[in-house]
Amino acid sequence: MKVAIIGLGAIGCTLLPFLKKEIQPNNLRIIAGGERKKRLEKQGILINEEHYNLNVVSPETIVDPADLVIVAVKYNQLNQAIQDIKNQVGPKTIILSLMNGITSEEEIAEVYGKEKVIYGFTTINGIYKNGVATFSVGENKIKFGIDQPEDQQNKVQRVKELFDACQIPYEIPDNIIRELWLKFLLNVSGNSVAGVLRGKHKHFQKLDSANKARECIMREVIALSKAMGTGLVDEDLETMKPIYFNYEPEARGSMVQDILSKRPTENEMLCGTVVKLGKKYGVSTPATELLYYLIKAIDDETNGLLD
Ligand SMILES: NC(=O)C1=CN([C@@H]2O[C@H](COP(=O)(O)OP(=O)(O)OC[C@H]3O[C@@H](n4cnc5c(N)ncnc54)[C@H](OP(=O)(O)O)[C@@H]3O)[C@@H](O)[C@H]2O)C=CC1
Ligand SMILES: CC(C)(CO)C(=O)C(=O)O
């Protein structure tokens, strides 16, 4: 299979060592242009202390389409990434987004068609800064699937075969939309509360107060999901309570990593989406709206609005 990855950061790097074992070097493409391409070609990337050379393909290069394109960029980078994969996408290409949130698949489908996109996300926590990535798989995995009828199942089968060959941990849930929303429930509440606290996972392992804040948000996301029919139920509040015990206490979620590195957060994709959909579906989301504005103030500060 020819596989293209756009976004070789914390999450892209959790896949590269697995894919490298099975895929011929020229069939594993890292899509990047300009300075990013030069840097990746010159420096390669260090993942879990192992150095990898990369086959970097610029967005302008015309090549045979990839069989699978994996999208693992941050929300503010998605529009550009969608443009940059254009030469990788052909009639049979499958596009898998590992981004958090519930909107990236729709945005990709708007440009390339729903039939090319499968839903997915990862439960792995990856750490990335300046060309150095670390991660531990533990119990974590990629979950993927489709909400379409039978004739689309062969897309899922093709990704399954690739992941089996590369020994990438995965699960194909019966109801991918509910699973996507469960991850959304975790990220809207956990990433954003941790963002305000600049917290580590141990904040949720040790502090009842931090979890109570998370619960205020989760109640609203569950109410929204019920209004939209996307599968969350009240009991999910309990399911989500111990979730942070799966993660390394001293590690940080992706939003805190962004805040500490003075990068834009994914606030719009997380709290922003809940507030917007709440208005559309008549669901009240005051706690999430408060959290949205707190994170927005952090983003404003990052953007120099205090200077
Ligand atoms: N980190 C985590 O633990 C988890 C993250 N996620 C989600 O995964 C997604 C990716 O997050 P994460 O991996 O943390 O983000 P990172 O910021 O670590 O990585 C994003 C990477 O994409 C690269 N990139 C951006 N735009 C382009 C482009 N046009 N062409 C080529 N490369 C590009 C960036 O390059 P450069 O550095 O040069 O800008 C960067 O290396 C997010 O939606 C996040 O919420 C999900 C689960 C856990
Ligand atoms: C791994 C996890 C759940 C940790 O917060 C995450 O999805 C993120 O950091 O974005």
Q: pLDDT digit string (tens) for 145-167?
A: 998 766 677 999 999 999 999 99
Q: Whose CA is nearest to atom 16 of ligand 1?
A: 9
> How sure is the predictor about 139, in pLDDT bands with cuts at 50, 70 and 90?
confident
CA of residue 149 to ligand 1 center, whole Å: 31
Q: Among residues 11, 5, 7, 17, which one has the least CA distance to residue 47?
A: 17
Note the pLDDT of residue 276. 98
Give ligand 1 pocket residues (Cβ under 6 A): 6-12, 31-32, 36, 72-74, 77, 80-81, 84, 98-100, 122, 125-126, 128, 254, 266
Cα-Cα end-to-end distance for the chain = 50
Q: Which atom of ligand 1 is nearest to the CA of 36?
A: 38
CA separation for the pair 196, 91 (Å, rounded): 44
Mean pLDDT of the chain: 96
Note the pLDDT of residue 153. 78
Q: Out of 14, 15, 36, give the residue to mutate to test ligand 1, the one with the largest number of ligand atoms within 8 Å of its CB.
A: 36
Give the pLDDT confidence of 177-213 residue by residue, as tens digits. 999 999 999 999 999 999 999 999 999 999 999 999 9
Q: Among residues 24, 25, 22, 30, which one has the least CA distance to residue 166?
A: 22
Q: Is 140 helix (H, G, I), strand (E, B) or coil?
A: coil
Note the pLDDT of residue 233. 98
Just give the CATH number of 3-171: 3.40.50.720
DSSP annotation string for 202-228? HHHHH-HHHHHHHHHHHHHHHHHHHHH
Q: Which CATH number fits domain 176-302: 1.10.1040.10, 1.10.260.40, 3.40.50.970, 3.40.50.10470?
A: 1.10.1040.10
CA of residue 87 to ligand 2 center, whole Å: 30
Q: Where are the domains of the chain?
A: 3-171, 176-302
Q: Is 254 in the pocket of ligand 2 (CB under 6 A)?
A: yes
Q: Is 101 in the pocket of ligand 2 (CB under 6 A)?
A: no
Note the pLDDT of residue 151. 64
Average confidence (pLDDT) over 7-24: 96
Give the pLDDT confidence of 79-131 residue by residue, as tens digits. 999 999 999 999 999 999 999 999 999 999 999 999 999 999 999 999 999 99
270 has pLDDT over 80: yes
CA of residue 7 to ligand 2 center, whole Å: 16
Q: Which atom of ligand 2 is nearest to the CA of 187?
A: 7
Average confidence (pLDDT) over 283-306: 98
Give the rounded percent of residues in the chain with a pLDDT score beyond 70.
99
CA separation for the pair 223, 228 (Å, rounded): 9
Note the pLDDT of residue 226. 98
Contact 218/157 with Cβ under 8 angstroms? no
> Where do the H-state alpha helices sit in the chain?
12-22, 34-43, 78-84, 104-112, 153-166, 176-186, 192-197, 201-206, 208-228, 236-240, 254-260, 273-281, 286-302
Q: What ipTM was predicted for this assembly? A: 0.99
Note the pLDDT of residue 148. 76
